[in-house]
């Protein structure tokens, strides 16, 4: 998109760049091949200083972390953030730009600007997450009215929101196949996983209200000879509420580049999501990543997992401890997975973050061109898998 001296992509994110490597990082690193990406996070509250840290990340990305003092009222925080944003624009010389939102809450801070285009990448139903304020729903409604184009993180989410915008497109979880394919060939366990006996059933990701803790506890109690490896930060729930059994192992957060070495040592990968409002529309990125690693996968009944992986028998669906134990026992007794792996490879060959990025780029180019020349026909709604 070179229409106006290659604009900057200004991304407002509720997720921090150094948290769990997921959709924003995958997409922004690819968009950085075309634009300078300014990745603006929500403020950190501490001390008495007001300012921001701007860190250059290799690949044409500048990570911006605002800092505000503790004790500010919401109105004071908003005023300070608006001032900081003006400072950021001035000091980073942001002149031609478009906005990319992951959080509708950033609308209040950025409302005084006139971007070339507004993109809303709705990766989750954030209003259903624990501690989500009512304001989030109001802001999303406003963002839907202002956005030129909307992407959703899955088909279920698309179906729930497609009536809210005229130019909305589903882009489910994608995959960096080469990265996770390494798990098929690793032979040595990381030190903190080395001591854990087999069979191992693993999970990596954020451990929060979306995880079915009771399910894991029940299975672990009934199958003490199976070992459960849980990798990731604990967020928004009390660590004291997590089940503590000899065969449940919490290995904390790991770097994205290290994940294949951990997955390689598992016998089965799992998606133990609970059934609640926060999981109603999720499309877990981990599903294709586990498959690329060559691991059999057991998931609770998540609609997008059933639709794209369970229906063609690439992923087991188990909604109860009994079902989970039954299919896990079958997998642990399976030695020949050649046919299954061939089907997995065929599916994954059609899906990548590169393809997702290219398809998004095309839609954005059409949209920006149509804004400059309104005679241009708007793109049809399409689903990209």
> Are 286 and 309 contacting, i.e. CB atoms less than 8 angstroms apart?
no
Query: Which residues does residue 168 pair with via DSSP β-bridges, in sequence order?
Result: 150
Instruction: State the sign of the Cα–Cα–Cα–Cα dihedral 159, 164, 168, 173.
Output: negative
Question: How far apart are alpha carbons 98 and 255 in whole angstroms?
Answer: 30
**Has residue 356 got a pLDDT over 80?**
yes
**Has residue 60 got a pLDDT over 90?**
yes
Question: Could you read off the pLDDT of 124-152 as tens digits, one per residue?
Answer: 776 655 555 778 888 999 999 999 999 99
**Has residue 15 got a pLDDT over 70?**
yes
Question: In this prediction, what percent of the chain has a pLDDT beyond 90?
Answer: 75
Question: How far apart are alpha carbons 25 and 27 in whole angstroms?
Answer: 6
Label residue 73 by pLDDT band (50, 70, 90). Answer: very high
* Three-point CA angle 269, 273, 274, nearest 5°: 150
Question: How far apart are alpha carbons 195 and 108 in whole angstroms?
Answer: 50
The answer to which of 174-178, 286-290, 379-383 has the lowest mean pLDDT is 379-383
Furthest CA-CA distance within the chain: 66
Question: Could you read off the pLDDT of 230-261 as tens digits, one per residue?
Answer: 999 999 899 999 999 999 999 999 999 999 99
* Residue 234 DSSP one-character state: B
Residue 163 tokens, joined = 């009536």
Question: Could you read off the pLDDT of 160-170 as tens digits, one per residue?
Answer: 899 999 999 99
The answer to which of 3-17, 71-85, 217-231, 344-358 has the lowest mean pLDDT is 3-17
Question: Could you read off the pLDDT of 194-240 as tens digits, one per residue?
Answer: 999 999 999 999 998 899 999 999 999 999 999 999 999 999 899 99
User: Alpha carbon of 155 to those of 122, 214, 267, 287, 307: distances in Å?
Assistant: 11, 28, 29, 15, 9
Label residue 48 by pLDDT band (50, 70, 90). Answer: confident
The answer to which of 8-12, 87-91, 173-177 has the lowest mean pLDDT is 173-177
Entry pTM: 0.85
Question: How far apart are alpha carbons 307 and 209 in whole angstroms?
Answer: 23
Compute, in degrees rounded to 10, the torsion defined by CA atoms 87, 92, 93, 96.
-100
Q: Give 335's contacts (C-beta < 8 A, 6+ positions apart).
A: none
What integer pLDDT is reported at residue 132 of this predicted model?
57
What integer pLDDT is reported at residue 376 of this predicted model?
44
Residue 266 tokens, joined = 């598992």
List the beta strands (DSSP E) in the chain: 8-13, 37-41, 44-45, 51-57, 61-68, 97-101, 118-122, 149-152, 168-170, 200-204, 227-231, 248-250, 268-271, 297-299, 316-317
Question: 183 versus 384: which is more confidently predicted?
Answer: 183
Label residue 38 by pLDDT band (50, 70, 90). Answer: very high
Q: Which H or E run includes 346? A: helix 338-348
What integer pLDDT is reported at residue 384 of this predicted model?
46
């Amino acid at each position: 998109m070179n229409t106006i001296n290659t604009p900057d992509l200004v991304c407002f994110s509720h997720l921090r760049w150094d948290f769990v490597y997921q959709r924003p990082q995958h997409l922004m690193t690819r968009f950085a091949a075309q634009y300078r990406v300014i990745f603006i996070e929500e403020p950190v509250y501490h001390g008495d200083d007001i300012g921001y840290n701007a860190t250059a990340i290799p690949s044409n990305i500048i990570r911006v972390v605002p800092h505000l003092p503790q004790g500010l009222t919401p109105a004071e925080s908003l005023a300070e953030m608006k001032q900081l944003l003006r400072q950021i624009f001035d000091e980073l010389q942001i002149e031609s730009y478009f906005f990319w939102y992951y959080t509708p809450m950033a609308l209040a801070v950025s409302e005084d600007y006139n971007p070339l285009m507004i993109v809303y990448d709705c990766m989750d139903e954030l209003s259903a997450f624990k501690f989500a304020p009512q304001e989030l729903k109001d802001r999303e409604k406003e963002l839907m009215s202002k956005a030129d184009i909307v992407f959703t993180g899955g088909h279920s989410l698309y179906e729930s929101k497609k009536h809210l915008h005229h130019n909305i497109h589903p882009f489910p979880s994608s995959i960096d196949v080469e990265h996770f394919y390494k798990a098929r060939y690793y032979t040595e366990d990381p030190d903190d996983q080395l001591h854990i006996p087999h069979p191992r059933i693993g999970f990596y990701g954020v451990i929060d209200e979306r995880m079915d803790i009771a399910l894991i506890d029940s299975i672990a109690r009934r199958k003490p000879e199976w070992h459960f490896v849980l990798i990731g930060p604990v967020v928004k729930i009390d660590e004291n509420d997590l089940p503590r059994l000899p065969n449940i192992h919490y290995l904390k957060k790991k770097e994205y580049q290290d994940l294949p070495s951990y997955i390689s040592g598992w016998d089965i990968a799992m998606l133990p999501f609970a059934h609640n409002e926060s999981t109603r529309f999720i499309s877990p990125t981990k599903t294709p990543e586990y498959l690329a690693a060559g691991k059999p996968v057991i998931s609770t009944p998540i609609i997008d997992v059933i639709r794209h992986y369970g229906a063609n028998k690439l992923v087991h669906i188990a909604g109860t401890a009994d079902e989970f134990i039954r299919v896990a026992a079958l997998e642990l007794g399976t030695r020949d997975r050649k046919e299954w792996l061939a089907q997995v490879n065929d599916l994954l060959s059609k899906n990548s973050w590169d393809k997702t990025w290219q398809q998004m780029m095309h839609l954005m180019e059409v949209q920006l061109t149509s804004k400059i020349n309104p005679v241009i026909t708007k793109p049809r709604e399409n689903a990209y898998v």
